């Protein structure tokens, strides 16, 4: 009779170890699984956190007729006596805002005795932060644009194709300055308000 209780004691010990092992494995799996889910949520793979981060990546496109939360304040005398700005429903679905550089740009042309004098503006379809940054960094942008004008051959200043290349180089340069200073460009095009080669 004493042999039977010895067998029962021996059988119970492995069962307890087996149950404890299963519990530890289950807890470990829960910890690893929970950590994986948390990591995926933080990375934005699941849970929608990735979409929230994308919204704050920089100035957003502004649809025609929509309010711009970063619109620059109106200057004195503006906005009086006129109706609301008319927006076309056709064409580009986003509104275009313009920034005019305060002074003309004057520079010698590359490998030439000729000079160029230009009055410039640029456009953006992004929110008002781009306009604010253009005003804030106008000096750095002006310096970069003068470098580009000085590196422009006379042929590029006198032909339509050359002016288009110059326009593209200037747009890229403005965006590079804004990216360097603010982390985001946003300028769509540069426009010549006045362009004289002498």
Contact 118, 105 (CB under 8 A): yes
Residue 11 has pLDDT above 70, yes or no: no
pLDDT digits (tens, 9 = 90+) for 65-110: 899 999 887 766 555 545 556 777 788 999 999 999 999 999 999 9
Same domain flag for 116 and 190: yes
- pLDDT reading at 63 higher than 90: yes
> 184 is in which domain, residue-wise?
97-197
- Is residue 81 included in any domain, yes or no? no
Residues 118, 185 within the same domain: yes
Q: How far apart are CA 95 and CA 126, in angstroms?
A: 8
For tokens 């008002």, what's the residue? 128
Domain boundary among the residues 35, 52, 69 is at 52
Which pLDDT does position 84 carry in this prediction? 58
Strands (E), 18-166: 97-100, 105-108, 115-124
Q: Do 31 and 113 belong to one domain?
A: no
Verify that 24 and 102 share a domain, yes or no: no
* Per-residue model confidence as pLDDT tens digits over 15-24: 566 788 888 8
CATH of the domain at 168: 3.30.479.30
Distance in angstroms between the alpha carbons of the first and the last residue of the chain: 121
Identify the pLDDT of residue 108.
Answer: 96
Mean pLDDT (the chain) is: 85
CA 82 to the chain's CA centroid: 34
> Over 60: is that where the pLDDT of 123 sits?
yes
Number of domains making up the chain: 2
Check whether residue 101 and residue 48 sit in a common domain.
Answer: no
């Amino acid at each position: 009779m004493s042999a039977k209780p010895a067998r029962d004691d021996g059988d119970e010990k492995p069962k307890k170890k087996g149950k404890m092992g299963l519990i530890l494995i289950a807890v470990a799996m829960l910890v690893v699984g929970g950590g994986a889910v948390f990591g995926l949520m933080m990375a934005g793979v699941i849970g929608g956190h990735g979409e929230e981060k994308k919204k704050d990546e920089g100035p957003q496109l502004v649809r025609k007729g929509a309010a711009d939360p970063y619109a620059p304040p109106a200057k004195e005398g503006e906005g009086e006596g006129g109706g609301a700005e008319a927006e076309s429903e056709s064409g580009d679905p986003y509104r275009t805002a313009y920034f005019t550089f305060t002074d003309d740009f004057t520079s010698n042309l590359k490998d030439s005795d000729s000079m160029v004098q230009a009055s410039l503006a640029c456009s953006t379809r992004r929110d008002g932060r781009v306009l604010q940054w253009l005003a804030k960094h106008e000096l750095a942008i002006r310096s970069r644009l003068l470098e580009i004008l000085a590196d422009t051959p006379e042929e590029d200043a006198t032909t339509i194709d050359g002016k288009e290349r110059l326009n593209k180089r200037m747009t890229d340069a403005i965006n590079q300055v804004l990216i360097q200073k603010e982390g985001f460009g946003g300028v769509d095009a540069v426009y010549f308000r006045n362009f004289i080669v002498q």
